[in-house]
Structure 1
Amino acid sequence: MHPLIQLLRPFTLLPPMLGMATGAAAAVGVVGWEVLDGSHARNILLGMVMAGTLNGASNVLNQIHDLEQDRINKPRRPLPAGTVSQSAARLFSVLLYVAALVMAWFVRVGAGPECFVLVVVAAFLTWAYSAPPLRWRRLGWRANLTVALPRGWLLKVAGWSTVAPVFHDPEPWFLGFVFFVFLLGATSTKDYADLAGDARAGVRNLPIKLGVERSIRVIAPFLVVPWLLLPLGCLGEHPILTPPWPAVTGLGLVLAGYGAFIARLLLRDPRALQVHGENHPAWRHMYGLMMTAQIGSAVIYLVT
């Protein structure tokens, strides 16, 4: 694989692309299939490519500013291995950010550049996470917030914005909020394999601040509780969510059960995540849970 492609971390690009697609699918379920004319189909495809491009840009930027940690944690990555120069990586990241913003600008559904505004905010948060002077990835819960906001909350809303307006509709924001709460805790699972280099670089993420075992006890509820919030969107005389209550509740219970299974894997042997990192079954199941939630949230809109 070419070193520049390795910098993108291709396996991480699918979840944001899927998030855009399923956000759009949910909007189609509300607005109706007839909206899938040429322009809306183009918006959805453009939005999916944009989401993958923006995620790739942030991956490259993060590796540029994590170079010292990666010399310890992941020495085979292109930058510490010397197969890509820092200047080439910086140029690559800038081009990817520009490409993502240009694509977002052309996603319009008659309500102004809503998708573009969301992507500008998301791009800023990815920069704030990785780059000085902010570099919020050093700062515990602030790091988790800057991951969960663009990849959870704003992603779902941006997907919806490829089909229908979002700034005056609470439904995509409620749906995105559920994913945001999940990622607020789940994003910490990627930090355990990097503790040695992160601690030396002065990073104070949750596993370093709280310790391995305590931090896992803190994040475990985030794998379960968010999905139990879904049925709340069906309450009241004018519910926020469009799908019927049984479908939403069923999805929430399935996802909460899957999350409880992952939490049990983590709590049974907290240190194993530090040792095995991305090879730990719980880490892989975390991606599985996110993909299941994305697809499930689209299905209940399209078939009910």
Structure 2
Amino acid sequence: MSLRLSTVILPVDPWHGGGRAKWQRAEELGFHAAYTYDHLSWRSFRDGTWFGALPVLTAAATATDRMRLGTLVTSPNFRHPVTLAKELISLDDISGGRITLGIGAGGNGFDAAVLGQEAWTPRERADRFGEFVPLLDRLLTEGAVSQQGDFYTAEEARNIPGCTQRPRLPFAVAATGPRGMRLAARYGQAWVTTGDPKLYETGTPEQSVGALRGQIEKLGKACSEIDRDPADLDRILLHGFTPDRNGPLESLDAFVDFAGRHRELGFTEIVVHWPIPDSDFAADPTVFESIATEALAQLG
């Protein structure tokens, strides 16, 4: 099974102060895609520089030519499907059809309460996500949409001419639970996971592989329920949240071993964080670039 290698570039650099150069270097290194987080702020970066995902991706689209671009991931926490659809159609046009929308249910944290709303329960997040994704699908594939939902409403929402990619830009749906897996099976062109968060602090790499295998089995079950071939979906692993943390980025050999084990599970794409000094995503830039340019060739 072939494997693609991508990166995620956090929006922490001013565009003219290193941001543009990172996105262009990612394309030069041959990454399949470069993604960014879609948050208003995030964890340990909350009190530092943090730019908006969609404007950054728009700039990246004009600074690159071949590499795919996208969010990893967007959520309903502060997005509405009507306005998001308009921005995505515009971004897909500007990029020449290179956008992938990573999308998930969101979670607790800064984004969940920044608009002044009470934090949603896990069930409400799932309910909202279950309404958000189908409506966004309609908005990106139909010229005019009206829909009255429990959470989201569209009244004669016009989205002409639609996406450059047809019938719409691809969705990469982040999910681990049954409801999210069903959304991935029905609407996704890809499925995204970071692994099992319960294993991050005290689990082992072997336990993580077992948990990921179980997630892939659940995805297969969700696909079988609607008679969809699971092989139709790409399977994306966002690295950095499994028990081995950044160990696979310590050397080329370590990454090749990590990537090989996860390719055997059925993953088709692994996404690594662009190094950020003095952070959870610190890594040796020289090793990182050697991984980008040599790892896939060593996997064969």
- TM-score, structure 2 normalization: 0.32
Which has the larger share of strand? 2
Which has the larger share of helix? 1
Q: Which has the higher contact order (CA 8 A, sep 6+)?
A: 1
